[in-house]
């Protein structure tokens, strides 16, 4: 059985034209990478951080023409994240490994179209949105697989279904491995503590912008009562907020959400659904550090 599969796999690559092979290789490798990238991202399944699926879904809910779907998915964000991770990995692997090829190509097209509606709908000009290009690539690959067949058939035969199930299992193990690896590599809070600015260089009443450990832009405040900091990523659709010292507010330039940094960054006005993410900072020795 393995021998038959391997000779079929070899034949699948040999029988395709160089251009289709290139598309297949690109799609396969990129989607495996996409799945692994999410599996090894410590913030992806969490509720905080710029790459958190929960925050991403919140953004889609407010901006996508199918936002009503995402609104229902926000409370199941962890499950959605696991499904996305597994699907990307499995679709990439199945594409390279010639498992249920037409079914997988159609699934890739459907997923890319969904991502286009969710994430790149508002990108202007449209050609800057990568999901549009991926949807077209998947569609071209799917049509190439159909060839001259008149009937569009994406059904699975028994063998294809068994291989897909095995692949699903393999993808699950791979993504679980990725999650476990990133957890074991995660440093302790003490190791992660990041020096932001010397306390002596930040007078009381001043602010200081910095890149948080997660990579997102952040802003630090020093008052007579101590130090505190927030992510500058707006909780509406992820634009970067700016501080207006005269008014003592943080304002998002995209849809004017306004936050009060002296009251937990709560929303004062605008469409933002939640306060800005708080970032843990404290004074350690002569430095102000992020924990
Ligand atoms: S992104 Fe819309 S208010 Fe900030």
Helix (H) or strand (E) holding 290: strand 287-290
| Ligand 1 proximity of 240 Cβ (cutoff 6 Å) | no
Please give the average per-residue pLDDT across 42-55, as a whole number.
Answer: 71
Q: Terminal CA-to-CA distance of the chain, rounded, Å?
A: 54
Helix (H) or strand (E) holding 81: helix 77-97
Q: What is the C-alpha separation between 199 and 284, in angstroms, rounded?
A: 9
Q: What is the C-alpha separation between 10 and 281, in angstroms, rounded?
A: 56
Q: Tens digits of per-residue pLDDT, 106-128?
A: 999 999 998 888 877 766 677 77
Tell the residue nearest (CA) to atom 2 of ligand 1: 255
Domains of the chain, start order: 2-185 (no CATH), 191-290 (2.102.10.10)
| Ligand 1 proximity of 255 Cβ (cutoff 6 Å) | yes
Residue partners of 167: CB distance under 8 A and separation at least 6: 90, 93, 94, 97, 99
Atom of ligand 1 nearest to the CA of 255: 3
| Ligand 1 proximity of 168 Cβ (cutoff 6 Å) | no
Q: In this structure, what token pair is assigned to residue 182?
A: 């990133």
pLDDT of residue 47: 62
**SS3 call for 48:** coil
Q: What is the C-alpha separation between 12 and 74, in angstroms, rounded?
A: 40
Which residues lie across from 231 on neighbouring strands? 218
Q: In this structure, what token pair is assigned to residue 258?
A: 């306004």
Q: What is the C-alpha separation between 80 and 69, in angstroms, rounded?
A: 12
Tell the residue nearest (CA) to atom 3 of ligand 1: 255
Residue indicated by tokens 């699907």 = 87
Which band of pLDDT confidence, cut at 50, 70 and 90, is reported for residue 151? low
Dist. CA 227 → ligand 1 center (Å):
26
Q: What is the C-alpha separation between 38 and 144, in angstroms, rounded?
A: 30
Q: What is the C-alpha separation between 135 and 114, in angstroms, rounded?
A: 9
Q: Which of 24, 14, 15, 10 is nearest to 140 (CA)?
A: 24
Q: Does the pLDDT of residue 3 top 90, yes or no?
A: no
Tell the residue nearest (CA) to atom 1 of ligand 1: 237
Q: Does the pLDDT of residue 291 top 60, yes or no?
A: yes
Dist. CA 267 → ligand 1 center (Å):
11
Q: Tens digits of per-residue pLDDT, 76-101?
A: 888 888 999 899 999 999 999 999 89
Q: Tens digits of per-residue pLDDT, 232-284?
A: 888 887 777 889 999 999 998 778 889 999 999 999 998 888 899 999 999 99
In terms of phi and psi (left: phi > 0; alpha: psi -120 to 50; beta: otherwise), the region of 49 is: left
Dist. CA 269 → ligand 1 center (Å):
11
| Ligand 1 proximity of 239 Cβ (cutoff 6 Å) | yes
Which residues lie across from 197 on neighbouring strands? 288
Which residues lie across from 208 on neighbouring strands? 220
Q: Which of 96, 94, 110, 82 is nearest to 163 (CA)?
A: 94
| Ligand 1 proximity of 272 Cβ (cutoff 6 Å) | yes
Q: What is the C-alpha separation between 117 and 112, in angstroms, rounded?
A: 9
Q: What is the DSSP string of 202-267?
A: S-TT-EEEEE-TTS-EEEEEEETTEEEEEE-B-TTT-PBPEEETTTTEEE-TTT--EEEGGGTTEE
Q: What is the C-alpha separation between 88 and 192, in angstroms, rounded?
A: 30
Helix (H) or strand (E) holding 89: helix 77-97
Which band of pLDDT confidence, cut at 50, 70 and 90, is reported for residue 227? very high
Q: Select from 252, 267, 268, 273 the residue to mutate for testing ligand 1; criterion: most ligand atoms less than 8 Å from CB.
A: 252
Atom of ligand 1 nearest to the CA of 59: 1
Contact 281, 227 (CB under 8 A): yes
Dist. CA 259 → ligand 1 center (Å):
11
Q: In this structure, what token pair is assigned to residue 172?
A: 């699950």
Q: What is the C-alpha separation between 145 and 105, in angstroms, rounded?
A: 8
Dist. CA 62 → ligand 1 center (Å):
9
Dist. CA 149 → ligand 1 center (Å):
48
pLDDT of residue 201: 92
Which band of pLDDT confidence, cut at 50, 70 and 90, is reported for residue 215? low
As a whole number, the mean pLDDT across the chain is 83
| Ligand 1 proximity of 63 Cβ (cutoff 6 Å) | no
């Amino acid at each position: 059985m393995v021998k038959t599969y391997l000779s079929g796999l070899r034949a699948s690559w040999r029988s395709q034209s160089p251009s289709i092979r290139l598309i297949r290789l690109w799609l396969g490798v990129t989607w495996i990478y996409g799945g692994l990238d999410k599996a090894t991202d410590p913030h992806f399944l969490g509720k905080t951080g710029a790459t958190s699926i929960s925050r991403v879904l919140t953004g889609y809910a407010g901006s996508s023409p199918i936002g009503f779907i995402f609104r229902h998915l926000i409370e199941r964000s962890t499950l959605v994240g696991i499904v996305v991770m597994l699907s990307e990995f499995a679709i990439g692997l199945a594409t390279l490994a010639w498992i249920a090829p037409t079914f997988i190509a159609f699934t890739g097209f459907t997923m890319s179209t969904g991502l286009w509606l969710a994430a790149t709908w508002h990108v202007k000009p449209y050609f800057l949105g990568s999901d549009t290009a991926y949807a077209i690539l998947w569609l071209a690959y799917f049509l190439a697989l159909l060839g001259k067949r008149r009937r569009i058939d994406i059904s699975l035969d028994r063998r294809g279904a068994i291989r897909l199930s095995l692949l699903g299992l393999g993808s699950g193990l791979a993504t679980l491995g990725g999650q476990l690896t990133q957890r074991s590599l995660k440093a302790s809070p003490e190791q992660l503590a990041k020096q932001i600015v010397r306390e002596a260089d930040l007078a009381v009443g001043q602010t200081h912008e910095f890149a948080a450990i997660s990579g997102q832009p952040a802003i630090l405040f020093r008052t007579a009562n101590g130090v505190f900091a927030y992510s500058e990523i707006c909780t509406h659709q992820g634009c970067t907020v700016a501080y207006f010292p005269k008014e003592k507010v943080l304002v998002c330039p995209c849809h004017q959400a306004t936050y009060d940094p002296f009251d937990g960054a709560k929303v004062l006005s605008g469409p933002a659904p939640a306060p800005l993410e708080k970032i843990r900072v404290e004074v350690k020795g002569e430095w102000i550090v992020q924990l």
